[in-house]
């Protein structure tokens, strides 16, 4: 028994180490200021340093005035701006695109063109509510979690952008656990959405193609992304040159009219009307061309009605909606105003103490109407009511522990073949406790989950047997290892391998005197089955499970238990108290039959076990 426990412990450790292994996909090439990194499996963040190699599921957090550049092995460059949080979900392969999640802040990405035409997207940047897929281009992404706003600015090439929502089937989140610091996958929620399988969304939804010098962003009120429009060419070129997100103290404004400016990048002609369009019925929105992009809030500030059209570049130019920093390209609001994610423009009395507050309020109201803040932000900054409906598949993306206690009845029928007689032994005082450790699904096979289990049972026939039928042991152990495969949200296929101790009635002959005893035999088993939610509400469910298996031949001392079949059925009712805790009450029955023989006897033994089990699941 000790040998078995040691072997299983070593196997558990080896398997867990193997499943936790992540490949290196990138290397740190530049760091400025304070930047921290949290590697997969680590519990404490470290200072990011030049030369570090980064694995999949690594998160990077930058502080104020900080910056980091990460270069993937395929030469893709990822520049992470100040006060940002990014997650390297996975690197790209010949058949799969790389995925980086932007949880907050700014990213600038330079992707070399994919050599393989099989990849529609070589690299994907994803936020909570949008995804950007590219084959080869240079672009900047901004995500503001407070307003749930994603903004995209393309410097070179083209970027495909789609709006994501919480109803996307197969949508998954990547979340780093606050306690264990492990990266895990789970069902998408309005709080955190980074989906490794987001490439499926590009096939399901029509993407907006954002070309060189154009902007597009999420429009929360219309649940879509805006049609691509050209931003102010002066800001475009300053931002393009400031690839390291350098912040400057000077507030010198650049001349926003590009008539006399030498432009390294010129915006590509847009398909949307230059003057903008909004159609709530058709869910179409395009702001006026030539506006400014605020890097902190992600808001696009279009030119006012008094702006003038630069026919040469096809953009409107306006000095009354603010300006841009000549060195960094950051947006500078009009004097006396500041930008707020929720409210848009609001008075800033500190910057203009001598200006009448009523004048500033009127100016802010006018700019907000022009910016359409109520449409762009909408209810994105407000918490939406979520219907928390849990399915068995949800558990595949997280590790979990299940504790169980059970009361069981067992009946053993023994048929003596030689004498054609049968005896029945019953006990209704059996009990068991068990623990099961569910691993999270594999990154390559997200529907396949391994698990390990241990059950300790107590079955005593001594009180119901004759005096000459002894039972040396009444404690039984069952070691279990297997896989669950999620076929759909409700249906899973089960594969189990067991080493289960059971009681077998043995007869022996000593000095011509026959003695009988219930001996413990460890029988190998393999089972396959199905598990399904039969009836489902938001948090409660009725679940059914069926397992069919084979018991392999086992020889102990002077008798042999031949190969046999077994069948187990169960029905359970459960309730999800939270996404991390579930209780369940399950009734079950199990039937198995053996042929037992030795040189002294041969008989058939059939066992029927039934009981009620209480399960307590804790998701990690």
H/E stretch holding 365 reads helix 357-371
For 274, the token pair is 């230059």
pLDDT of 214 reads 94
Across-strand partners of 441? Answer: none
CA distance 8 to 6: 5
The whole-number pLDDT of residue 620 equals 82
Low-confidence spans in the chain with pLDDT less than 50: 1-20, 166-193, 195-196, 381, 383-387
Which residue shows structure tokens 């909004």?
278
For the chain, what is the radius of gyration of the CA atoms? 33
pTM exceeds 0.75, yes or no: no
Alpha carbons 528 and 540: distance in angstroms, whole number: 26
Strand residues in 43-127 grouped as ranges (E): 46-47, 53-55, 58-62, 67-72, 77-80, 85-90, 98-111, 123-126
Tally of CB atoms within 10 A around 554: 17
- Can you say whether the dihedral through the CA atoms of 61, 65, 71, 75 is positive or negative? positive
Distance CA(93)–CA(446), nearest Å, equals 17
Q: For residue 88, what are the β-bridge partners? A: 58, 100
User: What is the per-residue pLDDT for 586?
Assistant: 95
State residue 207's pLDDT score: 83
Strand 137-144 and strand 98-111: pairing? Answer: antiparallel
């Amino acid at each position: 028994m000790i040998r078995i426990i040691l072997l299983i412990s070593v196997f558990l450790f080896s398997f867990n180490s193997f499943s936790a292994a992540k490949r290196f996909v990138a290397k740190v090439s530049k760091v400025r200021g304070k930047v921290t990194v949290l590697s997969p499996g680590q519990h404490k963040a470290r200072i990011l340093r030049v030369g570090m190699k980064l694995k999949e599921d690594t998160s990077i957090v930058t502080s104020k005035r900080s910056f980091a550049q990460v270069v993937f092995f395929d030469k893709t460059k990822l520049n992470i701006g100040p006060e940002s949080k990014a997650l390297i979900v996975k690197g790209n392969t010949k058949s799969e695109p790389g995925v980086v999640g932007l949880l907050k802040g700014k990213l600038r990405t330079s992707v070399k063109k994919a050599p393989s035409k099989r990849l529609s997207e070589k690299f994907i940047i994803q936020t909570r509510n949008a995804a950007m897929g590219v084959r080869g281009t240079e672009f900047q992404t901004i995500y503001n979690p407070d307003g749930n706003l994603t903004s995209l600015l393309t410097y070179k090439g083209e970027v495909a952008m789609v709006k994501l929502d919480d109803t996307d089937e197969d949508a998954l989140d990547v979340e780093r656990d606050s306690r264990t610091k492990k990266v895990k996958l789970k069902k998408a929620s309005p709080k955190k959405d980074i989906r490794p399988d987001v490439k499926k969304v590009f096939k399901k939804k029509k993407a907006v193609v954002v070309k060189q010098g154009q902007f597009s962003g999420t429009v929360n009120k219309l649940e879509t992304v805006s049609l691509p429009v050209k931003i102010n060419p002066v800001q475009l070129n300053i931002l393009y040159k400031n690839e390291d997100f350098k912040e400057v103290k000077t507030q010198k404004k650049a001349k926003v009219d590009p008539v006399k400016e030498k432009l390294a990048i010129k915006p590509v002609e847009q398909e949307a009307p230059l003057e903008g369009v909004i159609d709530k019925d058709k869910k179409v929105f395009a702001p006026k061309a030539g506006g400014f992009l605020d890097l902190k809030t992600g808001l696009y500030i279009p030119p006012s009605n008094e702006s003038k059209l630069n026919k040469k570049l096809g953009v409107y130019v306006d000095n009354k909606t603010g300006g841009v920093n000549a060195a960094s390209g950051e947006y500078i609001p009009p004097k006396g105003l500041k930008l707020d994610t929720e409210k848009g423009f609001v008075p800033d009395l500190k910057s203009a103490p001598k200006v009448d507050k009523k004048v500033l309020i009127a100016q802010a109201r006018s700019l907000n109407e022009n910016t359409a803040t109520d449409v762009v932000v909408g209810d994105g900054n407000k918490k939406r009511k979520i219907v928390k409906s849990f399915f068995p598949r949800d558990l595949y993306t997280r590790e979990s522990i299940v504790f169980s206690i059970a009361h069981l009845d067992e009946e053993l029928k023994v048929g003596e073949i030689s004498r054609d007689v049968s005896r029945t032994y019953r006990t209704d005082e059996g009990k068991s406790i068990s623990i099961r450790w569910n691993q999270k699904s594999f990154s390559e096979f997200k529907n396949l989950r391994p698990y390990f289990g241990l059950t300790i049972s107590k079955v005593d026939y001594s009180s119901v047997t004759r005096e000459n039928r002894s039972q040396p042991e009444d404690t039984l152990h069952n070691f279990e290892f297997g896989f669950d495969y999620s076929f759909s949200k409700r249906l899973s296929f089960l594969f189990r391998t067991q080493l289960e101790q059971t009681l077998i009635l043995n007869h022996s002959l000593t000095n011509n005197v026959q003695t009988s005893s219930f001996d413990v035999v460890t029988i190998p088993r393999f089972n396959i089955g199905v598990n399904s939610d039969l009836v489902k509400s938001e948090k409660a469910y009725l679940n059914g499970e069926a397992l069919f298996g084979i018991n392999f031949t086992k020889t102990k001392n002077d008798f042999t238990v031949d190969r046999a079949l077994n069948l187990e059925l169960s029905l359970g009712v459960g309730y999800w108290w939270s996404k991390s805790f579930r209780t369940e009450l399950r009734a079950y029955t199990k039937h198995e039959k053996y042929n037992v023989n030795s040189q002294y006897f041969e008989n058939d033994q059939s066992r029927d076990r039934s009981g009620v089990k209480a399960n307590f699941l804790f998701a990690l």
